[in-house]
Amino acid sequence: MKPIKIMINGIPGKVATTIAQHFLKDNRFELIQHSLTGPEIQSSEYRLDTATIRLLTPSTREDAIDNIKASQGFFITVDFTLPMVVNENAAFYCKHALPFVMGTTGGDRDMLEKTVQSSAICAVIAPNMAKQIVGFQAMMEFAATHYPGLFEGYHLEIKESHQQTKVDTSGTAKAMVKYFNQLGIEFSENDITKIRDPKVQQQELGIPAQYLDGHGWHTYTLTSADGTVQFSFTHNVNGRDIYSYGTMDAVLFLAKKVSFRIKNFQVYLS
């Protein structure tokens, strides 16, 4: 199979860099040696193992993207940048006809969806790229759809812990709120307990020291009104490798969808 070309945006951020390292070592993919990055990045290049990645800031990307498309042909974009640029980046990808995988959390998610739907491109958008966690969310969605009000009268507590540098509340935790609402519990995204203090993470939660700068721990606790019954759902991720594997699956899925659309469009034209 011919390798799928991808461009990973967000380098030299830790998540984007970790994911890029995995793609670089996988012969199913070919890493384009460019990355869209933030205006605060001073360097024009980043050394990633054997590759030298050219970093493109917002002031240089408009001029550069057409040249990249001309030289590389078809490729898929992967976004692990920052919450405040999610919508801006999505608009950029749609404008330049760049199919993309959006792993960055935050931003206006409704606007994000509308931006893609009103464009001519395909995209995979998820607040969590660990496919097992996405599967867990699908299970919760099934329960919420088929058993509405199941936990009516219960109290809910959602705690999420991430590295100190994560500025927004977990997109995964926020996505779960609507399912618990359908299950009969009054709860809002503002009620989520966000933990970013390394001392609390290590001493109270027991997160290993080597993962304080890269983890995602979530616990959803349901307690009956009289306190006699409790349900608890937990998914704890140490490190960032799991997101790489899920992102690869998302790229493979998106590449098939795009290929199908192109083939059917060509048939239609003929």
Catalytic residues: 162, 166
Tokens representing residue 251 in the block: 């790229």
Q: Which amino acid is at 92?
A: F
- The answer to whether the Cα torsion of 217, 222, 223, 225 is positive or negative is positive
Of 142, 240, 230, 122, whose CA–CA distance to 183 is shortest?
Answer: 142
Beta bridge partners of 34: 54
Query: Rounded to 5 degrees, what angle do the CA atoms 163, 123, 53 make?
Result: 60
Q: Please state, in angstroms and rounded to a whole number, the distance separating the CA atoms of residues 130 and 146.
A: 25
Determine the Cα–Cα distance for residues 219 and 159; give it in Å rounded to an integer. Answer: 5
Distance CA 125, CA 130 (A): 12
Q: Which residues pair with 55 in a beta bridge?
A: 35
